[in-house]
Amino acid sequence: MITIDTTGVPAPTTAPVHAPPKPGHGPHVGADRQRVDAPLKVTGTALYAYEHPVDEPCYVWPILSTIARGRIRDIDIDEAAAVPGVLRVLSHQSTPRLRVKTDPALWILQDGEVHYRGQIVAGVIAETPEAAREAAELVHISYDEQLAELDFDPDSPYAISVRRVAPIVIARRSEVLFTRPGEESKGDVDAGLAAAVHRVEVEYEHPSEYHCQMEPHAVIATWHDTSRIHPGATRLTLYDANQGPIAHRSLLAPLLGLLPNQLEIISPYVGGGFGGKAMPHSHLVLAALAAKTVAPRPVKLAITRQHMFAFVGHRPRSVHRVHLGAEARGRLTAIDHVSIQATSRLKRYIDQSCLATRMMYATPNRHTEHRVVELDVAPGTWMRAPGDFSGMFALESALDELADASGIDPIELRIRNEPDVDPEDGKPWSTRNLVACLRQGSERFGWSHRRPPGQRREREWLIGLGMASACFPNTHAVSLFAQITFQRGRYLVQMQAADLGTGAHTVLPQIAADALGVDVDVVDSDIGRTGTPMAMLAGGSSGTYEWGNAIVAACERFRRKHGEQPNEGATAWAQGRPPRGARKRSRHAFGAHFIEIAVSTVTGEVRVRRMLGIFAAGTIVNPRLARSQMVGGLTMAVSAALHEESFLDPRFGHIVNGDLAGYHIAAHADIPQIEIEFLEEHDPWFGAIGAKGIGEMAMVGAPAAIGNAIFNATGRRLRALPFTLDKVLTV
Ligand code: MOS
C-alpha cells in the first residue's frame, strides 16, 4: 500500500469511514503482486483474439461506404469474384438476413442504405487475407447520394436538448445512455450571476478522439452445424477482443437469431479497451454473417488501423459553455454548464458531461444541460472517462479562470466551495477526500513555488504550474455473480470479468485468497468468456470493486457450505449486491492533478516536465497495478491535451488523418516522470473490499491542469484541445 504521512493535514470535511477489517481481509489485498500473465505476454504465448488456432480458416475483408448518406444503386462483383482464392462477395443482395434490430449500427448488409462514410457495405471472403483485400478493391459500388449534414454547428437550430431520463445501460436501441436527467437546475442562475462580484463566461471545446488501442479489433467467427446434437447447442463461437461478453451477447444473439446460450464468446486477453471494446461493433456482424455462408469453416477478421477511425466508435466532439459567478471571497453564486455534442443520426450516443459539474462544488444556483446535434457521421461510443473527461476539462479550466479573475489561489478556491453533501441530490458522501488530495498534493508538489503568470523563465522556456481536481462516479449497474470451485488442491474463480491489460487475472485471485483465507498462489481465474457466471463488463472503472464484491460473497458462501477442508469439486456461487444502504450515499472517487510544464517562446512547444496524480479511491487492491493504471490514464490525458486531433472532411465525411501517421498520440519522449500517490481510504459503500474505481479518474481533470499550467507559464488561456503549437503562439 502506498501511503503518505497525513500528520498536520487538516481533517477533510467528511471524515473517511474506517470500517473494521473484515475477517480474512488481507494479507493479499493491498499486496504488490506482479501480473500473473506477464510471462505469457512477454513470450508471445498469451492468445489474443486473432491468434486462436482454428482449422482451415478463411478471411473476410470489409468494404466501406465512400459516401456519407444515400443508397447503393448498383454493386458489381464480377472482377472481384474472379480473383484467385475468392470464395464469396457479401453485399445486401447476397447476405443472410439479420433478425432483431437490437442496435441500428449493427444492422449491416441488409438494405443498401448508407448512414455514414466508412459504414461496412460489403465484404469479400477468401482463402487468404491478401486475396480478400485485393478483391475488395475490385468491387465496384455506385450510389444514389443524398445531401449529408457533416458540419458540427453548436448553435444549430436543430440542436436537441436531452431531458429525458433513460437509466438504461444496455439499451435495446442503445440510444441514449443516460443514468440521470439530461437537464437539471436549482435556484436562479441569472440572479446568482447578477449578484456575483467575479464572473467567468467561457467556451471550451475538444475534437472527436479515437481509442487507438494497441490491438485493433479482431475476431474469429465459427458457425457450427449442431443440428445433429440438439437445437440449443452453441451455434456460433466468437474469439473476440472485448471488455466482457454481456453486451455482446445481449445485442448480437437476437440480431443473429440466436438464443443467448447459442452464442459463445471467448476473450481471455485484450490489447486495450478504453471503452472502445465495451459494446459490439459492426465488424463482428460482418464476421458472423461471413462465417454463416462458409460454415463450418472459421472466418478471421483483423481490422486495420484506418478502420479504427471509421466504424468502431470514438469520443464525440463537444463544446462546453460555462458561466461561473462568485462573491468576493470566491464562494460560487452560480454555475451554468451547457454541453453541446455531435452525435450520429443513425444512433445517438451522448456523453454525460455535466454530471460532475452537479456534484463537485457547492452553489445555491445551478443549471446544467446536454444538447446534441445530429449529423450523418459514425456513432460515438464510450471512451475512457466518458463524459467526465470533457465536462471536467471545462469545469476545472473555468475554475482556474475564476481563480485568476478573483485573485484567489486555485486550490483555496476549490476548498472554499467544498460541499458538505452531494449538491445534486443531497445525499451524504460515502467518502470524499478531495480536500485532503488538494492539500497533500500541494505540499508534495511544491505548489508554493508557483509564481504569477509569465514570471518564471529558463532561457527560451516559460515555466508554469497548474492543477485541477479529479473525480469518478460509482457506476453500479446490473446484478453480477461469481463462482468458486475447489479442484486438484486449487481454487478457481469464475465469472464473466475481463482483463484488458488492467490486471483482473492478477487481482481477482488476491481478493478471493483473502476471502477464503488461503495463499494467493493456489487461486486461479477463469474469466473473459461466456459459460461462466454473468457479470458486468469491464467499464466505468467498476471492475475490481464490483467483481470483488461478488467474489467475496461467493467465497463466504463456499466456506459456509464446504468448510475449511472442501471435497474435490466443491463449488459455490453468489450474487454481488451493493452494500445495504449504499444507494442512500453519493459514491465517487476523488483526486487531484499537479502539473509543471515548459512552453517554448520560440516554437510554442509545450513540454510536460512533472506530473503528480494524488487520489483517494478507497482500498488499493494492488499498488503496482493501480499505479500502472494511473500512469496509463495520465499518459492518455497528456496525449489528449497536447496531441490528439481528428479532422473530419465536411465535404465527404471521412476522418482525413485516420491513422497513426496523422493522428498523433503521446510517445515515450512526451511523458516525464509521473508520480502517483493514493491516500489511505476505505469506503464500505462500494463493495466488500472497500475499493473504488481508479483507472478512468486519472484522465479526469488532467487536461485542464495542463491548460491551467500553460496559462500560468504564458498568461495565455487556451480553451480548445489539443493545445498545439499554433494555438500557443496565436492565442
Ligand atoms: Mo470505460 S470508457 O467505461 O471502458
- For residue range 525-555, list pLDDT tens digits in order: 999 999 999 999 999 999 999 999 999 999 9
Q: Which atom of ligand 1 sits closest to the CA of residue 695?
A: 1
Residues 238 and 134 in one domain: yes
**pLDDT class of 26 with cuts at 50, 70, 90:** confident
**pLDDT class of 617 with cuts at 50, 70, 90:** very high
Quick one: which of 347, 379, 384 has its CA closest to 697? 384
Mean pLDDT over the full length of the chain: 93
**Confidence check: pLDDT of 700 > 60:** yes
Residue 162: per-residue pLDDT: 83
In a domain, 32, yes or no: no
693 pocket-lining for ligand 1 (C-beta < 6 Å) = no
The number of domains in the chain is 3
How far apart CA 714 and CA 456 sit, in angstroms, is: 9
Choose one of 308, 326, 354: the last residue of a domain.
Answer: 308
- For residue range 497-531, list pLDDT tens digits in order: 999 999 999 999 999 999 999 999 999 999 999 99
Residues 416 and 534 in one domain: no
**pLDDT class of 731 with cuts at 50, 70, 90:** confident
Residue 164: per-residue pLDDT: 61
501 pocket-lining for ligand 1 (C-beta < 6 Å) = no
In a domain, 163, yes or no: yes
Q: How far is the CA of 35 from the centre of ligand 1 (A)?
A: 21
In a domain, 290, yes or no: yes
Residue 132: per-residue pLDDT: 98
Interior/surface letters 589-618, b for 16+ CB within 10 angstroms, e for the rest? bbbbbbbbbbbbeeebbbebebbbbbbbbb
Residues 405 and 347 in one domain: yes
Residue 477: per-residue pLDDT: 61
CB count in 10 Å sphere of residue 673:
9
Residue 57: per-residue pLDDT: 98
pTM of the complete model: 0.94
633 pocket-lining for ligand 1 (C-beta < 6 Å) = no
Read off the C-alpha cell for 423.
449538491
How far apart CA 252 and CA 652 sit, in angstroms, is: 30
Average pLDDT over residues 143-168: 85
Residues 357 and 256 in one domain: no
Residue 373: per-residue pLDDT: 95
384 pocket-lining for ligand 1 (C-beta < 6 Å) = yes
How far apart CA 517 and CA 23 sit, in angstroms, is: 9
Average pLDDT over residues 143-169: 83
Residue 4: per-residue pLDDT: 36
Q: How far is the CA of 341 from the centre of ligand 1 (A)?
A: 18
Residue 172: per-residue pLDDT: 42
Residues 162 and 290 in one domain: no
Residue 567: per-residue pLDDT: 98
273 pocket-lining for ligand 1 (C-beta < 6 Å) = yes
Residue nearest to atom 4 of ligand 1 (CA): 275
Residues 224 and 295 in one domain: yes
* CATH code of 185's domain: 3.30.365.10
Residues 229 and 292 in one domain: yes
Chain length of the chain: 731
Residues 542 and 482 in one domain: yes
Which range of residues forms the domain containing residue 254? 56-148+214-272+277-308
Please say if 209 is a catalytic residue: no
380 pocket-lining for ligand 1 (C-beta < 6 Å) = no
Average pLDDT over residues 476-505: 93
How far apart CA 448 and CA 150 sit, in angstroms, is: 47
Pair 402, 417: CB distance under 8 Å: no
CA atoms within 13 A on the CB side of 174: 27
**Confidence check: pLDDT of 354 > 80:** yes
Q: Which atom of ligand 1 sits closest to the CA of residue 243?
A: 4
In order, the DSSP letters of 206-268 are E--B----SS--EEEEEE---TTT-TTS--EEEEE--S-SHHHHHHHHHHTT--GGGEEEE-S
Residues 513 and 543 in one domain: yes
How far apart CA 267 and CA 249 sit, in angstroms, is: 13
Residues 340 and 397 in one domain: yes
In a domain, 664, yes or no: no
Tell me the angle at which helices 623-642 and 702-714 cross, rounded to the nearest 10 degrees. Answer: 50
Question: What are 155-162's contacts with CB under 8 Å, separation 24+?
Answer: 156/373, 158/373, 158/374, 159/340, 159/371, 159/372, 159/373, 160/371, 160/372, 160/373, 160/374, 161/369, 161/370, 161/371, 162/350, 162/369, 162/370, 162/371, 162/372
In a domain, 175, yes or no: yes
279 pocket-lining for ligand 1 (C-beta < 6 Å) = no
Instruction: Give the phi and the psi of residue 714 in degrees, each rounded to 5.
Output: -115, -20
**Confidence check: pLDDT of 169 > 80:** no
Pair 418, 435: CB distance under 8 Å: yes
**Confidence check: pLDDT of 167 > 60:** no
How far apart CA 214 and CA 41 sit, in angstroms, is: 14
Average pLDDT over residues 629-634: 97
Between 226 and 207, the more confident residue is 207
Between 402 and 583, the more confident residue is 402
Q: How far is the CA of 275 from the centre of ligand 1 (A)?
A: 4
**pLDDT class of 229 with cuts at 50, 70, 90:** low
**pLDDT class of 217 with cuts at 50, 70, 90:** very high
**pLDDT class of 636 with cuts at 50, 70, 90:** very high
Average pLDDT over residues 69-94: 97
Lowest mean pLDDT among 29-43, 145-159, 352-366, 466-480: 466-480
In a domain, 600, yes or no: no
Choose one of 577, 593, 619: the last residue of a domain.
Answer: 577
Pair 343, 313: CB distance under 8 Å: no
Pair 548, 508: CB distance under 8 Å: yes
Burial of 232 (0-12, 13-18, 19+ CB in 10 A): exposed
Residue 12: per-residue pLDDT: 37
Q: How far is the CA of 630 from the centre of ligand 1 (A)?
A: 14
To test the ligand 1 pocket, which listed residue (242, 382, 500) has its Cβ within 8 A of the most ligand atoms? 382
In a domain, 63, yes or no: yes
275 pocket-lining for ligand 1 (C-beta < 6 Å) = yes
Q: Which atom of ligand 1 sits closest to the CA of residue 382?
A: 2
To test the ligand 1 pocket, which listed residue (210, 281, 384) has its Cβ within 8 A of the most ligand atoms? 384
Alpha carbon 528 to chain centroid distance? 18
Quick one: which of 291, 283, 225, 280 has its CA closest to 252? 280
**Confidence check: pLDDT of 225 > 80:** no
Residues 330 and 281 in one domain: no
- For residue range 262-280, list pLDDT tens digits in order: 999 999 999 999 999 999 9
Choose one of 577, 600, 622: the last residue of a domain.
Answer: 577
In a domain, 708, yes or no: no
Residues 201 and 223 in one domain: no
Average pLDDT over residues 294-315: 97
**pLDDT class of 18 with cuts at 50, 70, 90:** very low
How far apart CA 480 and CA 248 sit, in angstroms, is: 16
- Give SS3 for 731: coil
**Confidence check: pLDDT of 7 > 80:** no
Q: Which atom of ligand 1 sits closest to the CA of residue 540?
A: 3
Query: In percent, how much of the chain has pLDDT > 70?
Result: 93
* CATH code of 105's domain: 3.90.1170.50
